[in-house]
Amino acid sequence: MKLITHNILTCVDPRCKKEPPSLTLAATKVSVEDSKFDEAFIVRMIDRIDYPTLLTAYREVAPKDSPVLPPEVPKEPHTNKEFLKALYYAVCCIVIEEGEMICPRCARSYPIRGSIPNMILRPMDEEEIKHSSKRMKVDKEEADEEEGESKESDNDEKKMD
């Protein structure tokens, strides 16, 4: 799984559908693919990338000696070759082979095996339920203050264009 994919994935739990938080990425095996720099592609992607999410994930998993990404998107990023190259490397060359993504809201874990993320909603095991019911209580109180009730949400899928 590349970081571009992580960037657009969100928790599939219906309770997290509204303003879903970024999934926390943890990797146990990372590789770097030798993908040829595609300037046109990365220029097109700039405005669609959630940069803070990318940066957090990249800093978490990038091997030593990886290009450094600046804390914020620089001014005029579309013509900043150095930035474009680092960004391309981050989203298209880093491959998460093994690891997991965790939803910071409901604590569900989505495993990544053989570089494929498994986003199927599965029953939570007891440990997860204990963990997340605590969080849910807190979330619920906050939500109640904001706006009466939580809406039903149709379960499915993120588009991955």
| Alpha helices, H only, the chain | 3-8, 39-45, 51-61, 81-88, 126-146
Q: Is 92 in the site for Zn ion (CB under 5 A)?
A: no
Part of the chain binding Zn ion (CB under 5 A), chosen from 54-62, 77-85, 102-110, 145-153: 102-110
The helix/strand/coil state of 156 is coil
* Rounded (5°) CA angle 43-49-50: 150
Contacts with Zn ion by CB under 5 A: the residue count is: 6
Torsion of CA 56, 59, 60, 62, to 10 degrees: 140
Question: Contact at 8 Å (CB) between 112 and 118?
Answer: yes
Instruction: Give least dist CB 15 to Zn ion, A.
Output: 7
Residue 59 structure tokens: 């800093």
Closest approach of Zn ion to the CB of residue 47, in Å: 26
Query: Which span (27-35, 36-44, 86-94, 101-109) binds Zn ion, by CB under 5 A?
Result: 101-109
The one-letter amino acid code at 5 reads T
Among 91, 103, 112, 132, binds Zn ion (CB under 5 A): 103
User: How buried is residue 126: exposed, middle or buried, by Cβ count under 10 Å (0-12/13-18/19+)?
Assistant: exposed
Complex with Zn ion: residue 20 or 84, whichever CB lies closer: 20
CB of 4 to Zn ion, least distance (A): 21
Site for Zn ion in 2-61 (CB under 5 A): 11, 13, 16
Q: Which residues bind Zn ion (CB under 5 A)?
A: 11, 13, 16, 103, 105-106
